[in-house]
């Protein structure tokens, strides 16, 4: 690999770097202080009661009930385990306006790894989510969203001292997405290594993750430990860097952090913008530039190009699969829907990676997943079902 990467499974970033506040595009903001009082929902174990005013969860005795060590009990396996952040996206009710101009917002569950987990389940696959939310109303809402979408939530943890992360998202009049994050720190940043359900991770066929959990401790150590457990167990590792530059202390730390785990991944999905960032300004459409990101153990490198489709690179072949044109309402979650589309098929048959004709068909399916997602607001609310994708494929040129 031509790019310089830190050694995998070894800390490469300062654990005490503070997240800065930004007031442009991917914006961040400080979280309001947590109220000192505790509600009647202060313990996740309460969810196993039959009270009608409490949310219900699938497999409550496993996913959220606690064992003697205080953590949820072990659960059934899932084909794809997704690790990282789950949050609330607030999406404007009117498109084409900046965040400051938006008259109102609609809350929608999101977070890239969680989007992928739900996307896989909606496509008929088996998925689980591993991460942390606040012990607050939004955290309970997100846990219930996983349950409602048949995602294994036994790896979800609640933090009583931090809020669930929030993000305000809009598409401005010039087509740029604009984010403002509230996570300083949010619960997802505080997941600890000892809180991981490693057995769930080891039983998976694919372990999928991003880079946001690498920004600070203790989530970085938890991320590294989870990926190592998966790798040692022979699980296929899938990586989508999902660059959110203002969340990092600096551009250099973001590049270093993203590349610190680059060489352990079996499958990597990146965007054109991320190629330019990682290669420090080189042409993302040049195959020679993209090949610089292809490390010796990588099985498949995917480059998403929005409505234009995607490119694919393996050791044996490479090519492009065109996308489909749709009327975009909100592009949030489109890349995650694409990832869900391809991973749902690889979980069923990993030999797709070595068969170009079948891989192209799988990528056409994934492209449609991404395209359908941009036709509705929000990430998780817009993720398509398998039948919706199959119906849309009828109109896709061969």
For residue 276, give the H/E element and its range.
helix 272-278
Which residues are paired to 108 by β-bridges? 89
Helices (H) and strands (E) in the chain, counts: 11, 14
Q: How far is Cα 367 from Cα 335, in angstroms, rounded to an integer?
A: 9
> Quick check: is 336 catalytic?
yes
The SS3 assignment for 29 reads strand
Q: Do 222 and 15 touch, CB atoms closer than 8 A?
A: no
CB 191 within 8 A of CB 225: no
d(CA 207, CA 134): 23
Task: Tell me how far apart the terminal alpha carbons of the chain are, to the nearest angstrom.
Answer: 35
> How much is the CA Rg of the chain, to the nearest whole Å?
20
Q: Are 294 and 288 in contact (CB under 8 A)?
A: no
Q: How far apart are CA 67 and CA 17, in angstroms?
A: 34
Query: Six-digit token pair at 226?
Result: 């989870």
Structure tokens at 14: 């300062």
Two tokens at 75? Answer: 């659960």
Which residues does 226 contact at the CB level (< 8 Å), separation at least 6? Answer: 83, 130, 196, 198, 201, 207, 209
Give the C-alpha distances (Å, rounded to integers) separating 289 from 54, 270, 275, 299, 356.
53, 13, 8, 17, 22
Which of 79, 136, 266, 336 is an active site residue? Answer: 336
Cα separation, 367 vs 279, whole angstroms? 25
CA 354 to each of CA 120, 278, 321, 349: distance values in angstroms, whole numbers, following the listed order: 22, 27, 16, 11
Active-site positions read 336
């Amino acid at each position: 690999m031509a790019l310089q990467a830190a050694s995998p499974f070894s800390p490469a970033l300062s654990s005490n770097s503070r997240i800065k506040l930004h007031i442009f595009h991917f914006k961040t903001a400080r979280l309001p202080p947590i109220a000192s009082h505790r509600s009647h929902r202060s313990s996740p174990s309460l969810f196993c009661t039959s009270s009608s005013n409490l949310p219900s969860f699938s497999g409550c005795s496993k996913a959220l009930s606690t064992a003697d060590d205080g953590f949820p009990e072990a659960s059934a396996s899932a084909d794809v385990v997704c690790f990282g952040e789950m949050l609330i996206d607030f999406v404007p009710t009117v498109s084409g306006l900046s965040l400051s101009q938006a008259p109102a917002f609609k809350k929608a569950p999101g977070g890239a790894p969680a989007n992928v987990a739900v996307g896989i389940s909606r496509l008929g696959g088996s998925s689980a989510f591993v991460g942390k939310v606040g012990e607050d109303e939004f955290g309970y809402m997100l846990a219930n969203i996983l349950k409602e979408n048949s995602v294994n939530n036994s790896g979800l943890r609640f933090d009583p001292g931090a809020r669930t992360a929030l993000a305000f998202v809009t598409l401005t009049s010039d087509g740029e997405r604009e984010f403002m994050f509230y996570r300083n720190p949010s619960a997802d940043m505080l997941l600890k290594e000892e809180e991981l359900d490693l057995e769930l991770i080891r039983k998976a066929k694919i372990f999928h993750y991003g880079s946001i959990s690498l920004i600070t401790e203790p989530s970085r150590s938890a991320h590294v430990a989870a990926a190592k457990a998966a790798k040692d167990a022979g699980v296929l590792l899938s990586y989508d860097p999902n660059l959110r530059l203002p969340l990092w202390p600096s551009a250099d730390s973001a590049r270093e952090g993203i590349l610190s785990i680059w060489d352990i991944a079996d499958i990597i999905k990146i965007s054109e913008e991320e190629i330019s960032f990682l290669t420090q300004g080189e042409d993302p459409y040049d195959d020679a530039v993209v090949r610089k990101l292809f490390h010796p153990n990588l099985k498949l490198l995917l480059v998403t190009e929005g409505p234009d489709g995607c490119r694919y690179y393996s050791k044996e072949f490479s090519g492009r699969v065109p996308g489909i044109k749709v009327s975009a309402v909100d592009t949030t979650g489109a890349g995650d829907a694409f990832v869900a589309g391809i991973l749902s098929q690889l979980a069923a048959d990993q030999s797709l990676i070595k068969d170009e004709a079948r891989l192209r068909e799988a990528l056409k399916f994934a492209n449609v997943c991404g395209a359908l997602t941009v036709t509705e607001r929000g990430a998780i609310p817009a993720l398509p079902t398998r039948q919706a994708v199959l119906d849309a494929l009828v109109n896709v040129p061969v």
